[in-house]
């Protein structure tokens, strides 16, 4: 296969500009992550569905797989809520629940699914997984929406402006964490961590 990878990756980049915070609970342990793969997955307005693609390396992947529930939150871009939005992004996207509790500093309430709803998010849907597709290094989950709410309103945060507001040290840490995730993905896909 002779693909121009730069072109392919540039065509595909930025298609989903809104970072979503995914939360779930499994065996009494609440956790979550940030994702740029959140989307709608239904054309039937009376039966909305949400979809998200989670990497198997991430703890949240196994938790959603086992519990069958997730909450997908959009974050607020409004100046007065921006610090809270960036705190959610940094907390859930910057480390793994494998290394300890990430939810302790986030304001939550228990949703109808039992999963935590982030009170400082812009808005959310709660979903029960109705289908999933195993794609080697990750799983695409589709869920029936069973609850929804708007908590802040206003503009939704996009990843570009958010990235510009994150501290350099956090981005360095995120990039360091990304290395083993990528190696794991290549192992699932090709059988080796460097893609050979
Ligand atoms: C902007 C952004 C987008 C991300 N998109 C995804 C994604 O689509 N799927 C995924 O599995 N991880 C994604 N991640 C990485 C996870 O959020 C990160 O690895 C997290 O620490 C995993 O935590 P966990 O092990 O507790 O689940 C993203 C992170 C950021 C900051």
Q: Is 99 helix (H, G, I), strand (E, B) or coil?
A: helix
Strands 108-110 and 69-74: unpaired
Considering the chain, what is the average pLDDT of its residues?
96
Q: Is 38 in the pocket of ligand 1 (CB under 6 A)?
A: no
pLDDT tens, position by position, 8-34: 999 999 999 999 999 999 999 999 999
Residue partners of 176: CB distance under 8 A and separation at least 6: none
Q: How far apart are CA 84 and CA 88, in angstroms?
A: 6
pLDDT at residue 3 is higher than 90: yes
Q: How far is the CA of 35 from the centre of ligand 1 (A)?
A: 5
Atom of ligand 1 nearest to the CA of 19: 1
Q: How far apart are CA 71 and CA 64, in angstroms?
A: 10
Considering only CA atoms, which residue is closest to atom 8 of ligand 1?
35
Q: Is 178 in the pocket of ligand 1 (CB under 6 A)?
A: no
- The tokens describing 6, both together, are 């730069």
Q: Is 55 in the pocket of ligand 1 (CB under 6 A)?
A: yes
pLDDT tens, position by position, 150-192: 999 899 999 999 999 999 999 999 999 999 999 999 999 999 7
For 2-62, the three-class secondary structure string (H helix, E strand, C coil) is CCCHHHHHHHHCCCCCCCEEEEEEECCEEEEEEECCCEECCCCCCCCEEEEEEECCCHHHH
- Label residue 196 by pLDDT band (50, 70, 90): low
Q: How far apart are CA 23 and CA 31, in angstroms?
A: 6
Q: What are phi and psi of 55, to 5 degrees?
A: -80, 140
Evaluated on CA atoms 162, 156, 101, 97, the torsion sign reads negative
pLDDT tens, position by position, 125-147: 999 999 999 999 999 999 999 99
- Could you tell me the domains of the chain? 15-165 (2.30.110.10)
> Whose CA is closest to 148, among 169, 177, 166, 127?
127
pLDDT at residue 65 is higher than 90: yes
Q: Is 37 in the pocket of ligand 1 (CB under 6 A)?
A: yes
């Amino acid at each position: 296969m002779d693909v121009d990878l730069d072109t392919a990756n540039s065509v595909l980049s930025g298609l989903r500009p809104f970072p979503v915070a995914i939360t779930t609970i499994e065996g009494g342990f609440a956790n979550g992550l940030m994702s740029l793969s959140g989307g709608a997955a239904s054309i039937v307005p009376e039966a909305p569905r949400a979809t998200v693609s989670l990497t198997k390396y991430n703890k949240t992947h196994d938790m959603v797989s086992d519990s069958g529930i997730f909450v997908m939150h959009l974050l607020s871009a409004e100046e007065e809520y921006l610090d809270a939005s960036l705190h959610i992004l940094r907390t859930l996207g910057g480390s793994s629940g494998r290394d300890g509790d990430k939810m302790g500093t986030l304001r939550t309430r228990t949703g109808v699914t039992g999963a935590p709803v982030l009170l400082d998010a812009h808005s959310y849907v709660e979903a029960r997984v109705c289908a999933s597709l195993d794609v080697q290094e990750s799983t695409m989950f589709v869920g029936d929406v069973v609850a929804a709410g708007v908590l802040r309103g206003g503009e939704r945060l996009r990843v570009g402006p958010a990235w510009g507001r994150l501290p350099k040290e956090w981005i360095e840490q995120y990039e360091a964490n990304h290395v083993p995730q990528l190696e794991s993905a290549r192992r699932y896909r090709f059988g080796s961590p460097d893609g050979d």
